[in-house]
Amino acid sequence: MKYKVYKKDEEWRKILSPEQFKVTRQKGTEPAFTGRYHDCKDKGVYQCVCCGAELFSSDTKFDSGTGWPSFHSSMKSENVAEQEDISFFMKRTEVHCSQCGAHLGHVFPDGPQPTGLRYCINSASLKLEKK
C-alpha cells in the first residue's frame, strides 16, 4: 500500500521512542493499563504519533475496562483504515493510519452506541492535542 507519508525504518527510529516504533511500525501492543492515555480524561484530538493525522476525538472516548484507550468512532474516517488480521490464531480487524500506515490497534463490534464499535487503540500510537 502506498501512503502519503513514507519514511524508512531508520528515519522512523530517529523520531519515535523504541515503544512507539515497536507498536506503530512493527504492529506491537503495549501491555494493558500501562499506556499514558488509557485513563486520560483531557479534552482534545488524538493524532497519529508518526504523522500527526487527526484520528479520534476525546468526545468519542469511553472507558471499556480493557486497559487501552477506546473510542466508539474515528474522527475522520479517511484517516483510519481497516484490514483483516489473522495473527495469534484469531480473526480481528486491525486499524491503522491511512496517511502513514502506523499500526493503531484493533476495532471490535462490542462498543457503545451510537456506533456499537470499540476502537481499542495503543497509547503509544497516539499524541493528544489538548483543547
Catalytic amino acids? 120
Query: How far apart (Å, rounded) are the C-alpha atoms in residues 113 and 122?
Result: 22
Residues whose CB is less than 8 angstroms from the CB of residue 88 and which lie 6 or more positions away in sequence, other chains included: none
Where are the extended beta strands (E) located within 1-131? 44-48, 54-57, 61-62, 70-71, 80-85, 92-97, 103-108, 118-121, 126-130
CB–CB of 36/84 below 8 Å? no
Cell of 93: 480487524
Q: Which residues pair with 94 in a beta bridge?
A: 83, 106
